[in-house]
Structure 1
Amino acid sequence: MQSPLSPLQTCVVHQQSALTVLRQYLQDQRHLGPARPSPAQPPGGCSTLSQGGSSRRIPPPAPSSKRRTILQVARESRLTRFIGFTSGLLNLEQNSLAPLHLHVEWKLSAELRNLCSRMAARDDCLRLDADLKAIEQCLREIALQLLSSLSSDNSATQLHTIPALKELCQKYLEV
């Protein structure tokens, strides 16, 4: 019989699930952007048609009507930051925090997983900004919870991990 997961291991599982959803959602959103040139198309954008000894240049196809807006690019940027933060957080939890017995609540990680899943399941973009804001807030609360738990820990790992976690927050989250 398997031993039950520690709260930190449970958090890692939830965060890995959320990270997978975020990556897939970002990939899906990028496919909604402008069409990419086909690999057969030369770098200059025009191709040549030979007909009866003469050749003429064919202009590239008209730009896709599915151009990304500035808002879509901004959302994509936020998703990329969330993916970077979650990846870094998972790396920190799995490599530095795993041996410690920290008091962490898995509820925030479960909420993160649920928020990401709900956002990815939506057909419209009406609530997307609210979803992104909620995901960012949840990531921030997870980081604060870890910082709080680490500051009550008196191990040598704390000296290395707290600055690494703070740097991760500054790099990816709007503090």
Structure 2
Amino acid sequence: MEVGRLMAGPAALLMSIRHQAGALHTLQAAAAPHPPRSPPQPSHTQTFSAGRPGPAWHSPGEETEVSEPGGAQELEEERKAPGKSPKEGEESGDLSSLSPGEPSPARLARPGLARQETLRETALRSKMSRLIEATSRLVQVEQTLLLPLLQQHPLPLHPKDSIEFRNICSHMALQREGQQFERDLHEAHQCLKTIIEKLICSLAVFPSDSCIPVRSALRQILQNLLAM
């Protein structure tokens, strides 16, 4: 019988909690914002200086070396033109120097794609947030409510599920994005769902009303998880 081969008691639960806590830490790290990427400064400066000659972009000792007549006057006229400023020109230069894979230029050039990516990213962030919240809440319930019950009555537990959950989260953290990341996120969701459902089933045979608050808390976590 499968139940007879399962670990039971506080030691098994503590093992599960340890792996779930490790998975939670990994999920939180994976959900952290990406570091911003900026174009290399040397190439940006060279491109900008080459495209916009004039005294304003040279040191005082270099002003006499400007060979293009009227350069300073043209620059002054551009500064006075409505809606035009050096800051705006610089921003335009920044966008043009980025690669096609950068998110900002792609979204500016293709608003439809920007909306699609924004909705997708928002859905992934929401799903990750709910998974982190459910994992955190599960660890808390196990530590504060379930562990004392196991001191009175051993229950069939499934530590292997928690090990698998941690492994999935570790693999997902290496991806950070893309289709594999989404698949791992889905598998992590399903694995945590299985862990909670098995705990609820184990508590169904507990011979005491003291397990009612635990079952209620676990059902609430499961409900929030399934709301994804």
Task: Tell me by how many angstroms 1:103 deviates.
Answer: 1.4
TM-score when normalising by structure 2: 0.58
Question: CA, structure 1 residues 158+61, in 2 after alignment: closer, same or farther (shift >3 Å)?
Answer: farther
Q: In the superposition, relative to structure 1, how do residues 83 and 164 fare at CA in structure 2: closer, same or farther (>3 Å)? A: same
Instruction: State the SS of the aligned residue for 1:6.
Output: helix
Partner of 2:31: 26
1:152 is the counterpart of 2:205: yes
Q: Following TM superposition, by how much is the alpha carbon of 1:66 offset from its aligned partner in structure 2, in angstroms? A: 3.2
Task: Quote the offset at 1:15 in angstroms.
Answer: 0.2
Cα gap change, 1:58/1:92 in structure 2, threshold over 3 Å: closer, same or farther?
same
Distance 1:160 1:33, change over 3 A: farther
1:11 equivalent in alignment to 2:16: yes
Q: CA deviation at 1:158?
A: 1.2
1:81/1:173 contact within 8 Å kept: no
- 8 Å contact from structure 2 (residues 13, 159) kept in 1: yes
Higher strand proportion: 1
Separation in 2 of the partners of 1:123 and 1:168? 25
CA distance in 2, matches of 1:71, 1:33: 20
Structure 2 unaligned segments of length 5 or more: list them: 1-9, 39-84, 96-101, 105-116
Cα shift at 1:33: 7.4
Closer, same or farther: CA 157–33 of 1 in aligned 2, 3 Å: farther
Per-residue deviation, 1:124: 5.4
Query: Does the alignment pair 1:107 with 2:160?
Result: yes
Structure with more helix by fraction: 2
* Mapped partners of 1:76, 1:11: distance in 2: 26
User: Quick one: distance in 1 between partners of 2:194 and 2:145?
Assistant: 19
Of the three residues 167, 172, 175, the one matched with 2:225 is 172
User: Contact conserved, 1:32 with 1:66, CA < 8 A, in 2?
Assistant: no
Gaps spanning 5+ residues in structure 1: where? 36-55
Give 1:43-82 correspondences, 5 Å limit. Answer: 65-66=102-103, 69-82=118-131
Give the total of aligned pairs: 149
Aligned residues of 1:21 and 1:120 also touching (Cα < 8 A): yes
Across the aligned residues of Structure 1 and Structure 2, the Cα RMSD in angstroms comes to 2.8
Q: Relative to structure 1, is the Cα distance of residues 91 and 164 closer, same or farther in structure 2, using a 3 angstrom cutoff?
A: same
Distance 1:61 1:77, change over 3 A: farther
Contact 1:85–1:173, Cα closer than 8 Å, also in 2 = no
- Compared with structure 1, are the counterparts of its residues 113 and 154 closer, same or farther at alpha carbon in structure 2 (3 Å cutoff)? same
Retained in 2: the 8 A contact 1:96–1:157? no
Larger Rg over CA atoms = 2
Indicate conservation of the 8 Å contact 2:169/2:188, yes or no: yes
Identity fraction in percent: 30
Deviation at 1:171, TM superposition (A): 1.9
